[in-house]
Structure 1
């Protein structure tokens, strides 16, 4: 008589601390990939949000982080940077006992800070992956920069990448000091595109186009240009060159941007956003 086949081990529970938009995006991506809802836990203090999460994804929700992380092998810190220290210090005893893989999406908070807040006075750390997704993750079209501390092993890196790739592409960063630049470029980047679209739409109206036509023309242009950038092997400069005929309308516009210092303005904007990330770290230490 054949003995029954051994059952595969149950998946390690994943605990999300915070149930906001980014957490919802990641949870939705995980569920869409076949991760069972009963292996996902969320700590969310707002009762209405807990009810919605449970109804939408079939997951288990809790009012406190301590309940959610109990027995969970992966913790996703999805709260605002301003409250992360308090959250971590509350969970420190469980972190020292459970030694989870900790994934933080808090902008400007370093892995050393998280390790200290979770590890207590001796500074002992759980394995920490710091990451910065962006809002297109809510559509599964995001990009996330990730940095892993030396204590994260190969399976841990793979686990973090699998989780974050549920919301889009992932890019590993070897130097944590560059994570503030990741935040400035991609984390904040969608707002730059939205600002350009806003300005283009207003300019189109100033040229006499009806509101609905201006909006449709701008939105489809941004969408089409983004697809050309992502689906072509050519760099942005070459794609721009191909649509800029000498003496034509596009050249007139590009020369205006260049004369106005667009490149220098973008460079300074991203530098300022990067510096703001460093300031957030210092302010919350």
Structure 2
């Protein structure tokens, strides 16, 4: 039996085609869950879903722009149909655009607000509606929002991203309070991942050097490591395993909180 047994759980993972989202989807399947991947990247998303189901797990793919409410309605209904229910939502989709405060482009900040804040809020909205009594699934469940260590530290060049991920933290806690007050039976938590060398994480290091904040990409990465008591960058599995924990009954009394998965960087 898996350490976090998710047998019978039915999960939707946004931004699940690659990177952290793909790793989170893999961890959920490995622990026994059915998983539907949601993403804008249709070809990569379908390929990931096929790989996830190679050993017989129930998996699928739905196209989703997380900023589009109609898209959420369709994705939740389709995912519920594929899996025969829905009781785990991982709100992972997000973007990061680096900039000095004196140079930021309003369009870039609006885009981060739309994807990171509005996209997560819509996910929570439709996740709660589906999982609460009377919803399409109606059996309660767990919502895991992906914030960032950027919400807990001060690091140059990421003011807009930090602001949006701080908003995810507040949204998480209020959603948990409302769910409990109204008897929805849905736990809502978030995690704060540290820097992971995915496509987005690697680009962040490049951006830091290009903005003149560090002499080189290597020194930007070194600065992150030097701030991390564990002495290394994060790995996808570090984040994915905590998501599996929060989706499981092992976390049955963990609610309305954020878990730092950053090697101590935000401590």
TM-score (norm 2): 0.39
Name which one, 1 or 2, has greater alpha-carbon Rg. Answer: 1
Higher helix share: 1
More relative contact order in 1 or in 2 (CA 8 Å, sep 6+)?
Answer: 2
TM-score, structure 1 normalization: 0.38
